[in-house]
A and B are shown apart, each in its own frame.
Chain A
């Protein structure tokens, strides 16, 4: 277990640019832009003439949730690039020979990369997302001090909002990771053999599979086949359809992470999650067998 944890940590060290330093730089730029917006008068902190129609706490809620969505999208995009790059990274600069001199099997090596992709790497981005919420909190509270809406009660309310939104982002990221795990593993497994080309190949594979079904079993066209429908279903995040978020958005109640999480978890097709985990393990096994047998050190 100690070796496995160290290997997971190795992934963070190797990819800290994409998962830690890059997000922190983005955050600095974002925070700088926000502060600049207020200081040069682009944002009217006093909400002149509109103070009665603006609910500062709502603005904060929406802002933090917006950050959460943005960071989640950043994370998903980065993870797919990580899968294509990270699973082939050991070949870089001939380092495969070094890693193969370690008493660790190829399956364990690849599994550590997949585990890193759903734990420490998103965890780091989540940490940055939480930090962005803290900074937004600071900006929101200063704006409230300027326009005179800041109270001790508002301060407490912001803490509550922060907690709810942070929990909602955590649950969303966790669900996204387990839901899209088979896609990550597919790219990772392919990347073991073909490196970064795994991304375009993984994008083409569903179309090939659907076309094969259409050619062999018939149908109107490849995009009406069972294969295509299934893959479309598996590519859709469970929360896409209308639900709590929509009703909260048009209502006036504060955001409730428990209601959001209950609904999201209830919408997850857990059988498919289980199948996805098995598929991911199979992809890792096949990738590790390729890695074990290949001579491209």
Chain B
């Protein structure tokens, strides 16, 4: 965790997730190269990276779905050794269509009511009110969007401390995606809960994130709070050639031309210094992602 994000956390807070030297190999290929990070409670984390960057492997390590070298603790437990116990307080959606298709909705709820000590059937039913999903429907007859709604109702009805969402809205249309995240934020998030999301639709979750982690080729290249991102990175839109040359003196981490305008992103440069060259803004997460994925590391001293 970087210095700024650490500074804003009380020292006594035990992290929900703690990883040290987390490595994973598939055959001879190393997928994760020794990740170190802590995730404190009550935060909404976005884990963002290219396909094959190691996001799902990192999540699988947290969820006890894969064994890794190094140390990882979730709620103080080793997830691979204690997955079943851990799942009482951790909920996850790893795919929009992973609900068992042979069950009816009411059968699914009844089953979960008996299997999961922290699942509330009444809550799940209430989350489905106002949707087209009926208790007698079979999961296999639901549309992809309805399955996503149902799965969200299931995980929101679990009183968990950590909710992990791995591409939870993949393949859904924009209406469902927006409804999904709004519901999550309005009906589920509390100060005691921690949410970790990976998605390629970065811009759609940006508004709700408190922290981000960028992962590239199995390494965390950025890990910080969103407020820090806003303070640290600046986007400059500049038209004038002389201003561009002058601005380049401050070493932009990224530069591209869009519709005849040059867009530069700066890391840790005082905004007052850049203001004379053009229009300043905070880069969107997707712009930052594109920018940082192209250089060795965004905050080499602090990225963990």
Within 8 A of B (CB), among A80-114: 92-105, 108
B116 within 8 A of A: yes
Give the residue name and chain of the A residue nearest to B140 (CB): A93
Do the beta carbons of B115 and A6 come within 8 Å of each other?
A: yes
User: C-beta contact mask, A266-297 vs B, less than 8 Å → 1, else 0?
Assistant: 00000000000000000000000000110101
Which of chain A's residues have a CB closer than 8 A to the CB of B99? 95, 98
**Minimum distance in angstroms from B82 CB to a CB of chain A:** 9
Tally B residues with Cβ within 8 Å of A.
32
Alpha-carbon distance between A5 and B113 when the two chains are bound, in angstroms: 12
A226 within 8 A of B: no
A-B contact pairs, 25 of them (CB 8 A): A5-B114, A6-B110, A9-B111, A10-B103, A13-B103, A14-B102, A93-B98, A93-B100, A93-B101, A95-B98, A95-B100, A96-B98, A97-B94, A98-B100, A101-B87, A101-B91, A103-B86, A103-B88, A103-B116, A104-B84, A105-B84, A293-B67, A295-B60, A297-B65, A297-B94
Do the beta carbons of B116 and A94 come within 8 Å of each other?
A: no
Alpha-carbon distance between A139 and B106 when the two chains are bound, in angstroms: 39
**Minimum distance in angstroms from B292 CB to a CB of chain A:** 29
Which residue from A13, A97, A100, A104 sits with its C-beta under 8 Å from B115? A104
Which of chain B's residues have a CB closer than 8 A to the CB of A2? 114
B52 within 8 A of A: no
- Contacts A6-B114, A94-B95, A105-B84; A100 near B65 (Cβ below 8 A): yes
Which of chain A's residues have a CB closer than 8 A to the CB of B60? 295
Do the beta carbons of B97 and A103 come within 8 Å of each other?
A: no
Alpha-carbon distance between A271 and B60 when the two chains are bound, in angstroms: 43
- Contacts A94-B95, A94-B98, A105-B84; A100 near B114 (Cβ below 8 A): no
Which residue from B83, B93, B111 sits with its C-beta under 8 Å from A105? B83
**Minimum distance in angstroms from B198 CB to a CB of chain A:** 14
- Contacts A2-B114, A103-B116, A104-B115; A98 near B107 (Cβ below 8 A): no
B85 within 8 A of A: yes
**Minimum distance in angstroms from A287 CB to a CB of chain B:** 16
- Contacts A295-B66, A297-B65; A103 near B85 (Cβ below 8 A): yes
The interface centre, meaning the residue of B86, B95, B107, B117 with most chain A CB atoms within 10 A of its CB, is B95
* A interface residues with partner B (beta carbon < 8 Å): 2-3, 5-7, 9-10, 13-14, 92-105, 108, 292-293, 295, 297
A-B contacts besides A5-B114, A13-B102, A101-B90, 6 pairs, CB < 8 Å: A14-B102, A97-B95, A102-B116, A103-B116, A104-B87, A108-B84
Give the residue name and chain of the B residue nearest to A100 (CB): B65
B37 within 8 A of A: no
Which of chain B's residues have a CB closer than 8 A to the CB of A103? 84-88, 115-117
Alpha-carbon distance between A293 and B65 when the two chains are bound, in angstroms: 7
Within 8 A of A (CB), among B63-99: 63, 65-67, 83-88, 90-95, 97-99
**Minimum distance in angstroms from A123 CB to a CB of chain B:** 19
**Minimum distance in angstroms from B98 CB to a CB of chain A:** 4
Alpha-carbon distance between A13 and B115 when the two chains are bound, in angstroms: 15
Alpha-carbon distance between A97 and B111 when the two chains are bound, in angstroms: 16
- Contacts A6-B111, A10-B111; A102 near B102 (Cβ below 8 A): no
- Contacts A293-B67, A295-B66; A101 near B92 (Cβ below 8 A): yes
**Minimum distance in angstroms from A127 CB to a CB of chain B:** 20
Do the beta carbons of A97 and B98 come within 8 Å of each other?
A: yes
Alpha-carbon distance between A99 and B102 when the two chains are bound, in angstroms: 13
Which of chain B's residues have a CB closer than 8 A to the CB of A99? 100
**Minimum distance in angstroms from B30 CB to a CB of chain A:** 15
User: C-beta contact mask, B28-71 vs A, less than 8 Å → 1, else 0?
Assistant: 00000000000000000000000000000000100101110000
Do the beta carbons of A93 and B97 come within 8 Å of each other?
A: yes
Give the residue name and chain of the A residue nearest to B110 (CB): A6
Do the beta carbons of B84 and A94 come within 8 Å of each other?
A: no
Which of chain A's residues have a CB closer than 8 A to the CB of B95? 94, 97
Which of chain B's residues have a CB closer than 8 A to the CB of A297? 65, 94
- Contacts A13-B102, A93-B101; A102 near B115 (Cβ below 8 A): yes
Do the beta carbons of B115 and A7 come within 8 Å of each other?
A: yes
Alpha-carbon distance between A220 and B111 when the two chains are bound, in angstroms: 55
Which of chain A's residues have a CB closer than 8 A to the CB of B83? 100, 105, 292
Give the residue name and chain of the B residue nearest to A107 (CB): B84
**Minimum distance in angstroms from A155 CB to a CB of chain B:** 41
Alpha-carbon distance between A293 and B68 when the two chains are bound, in angstroms: 11
The interface centre, meaning the residue of A3, A97, A295 with most chain B CB atoms within 10 A of its CB, is A97
Alpha-carbon distance between A2 and B113 when the two chains are bound, in angstroms: 10
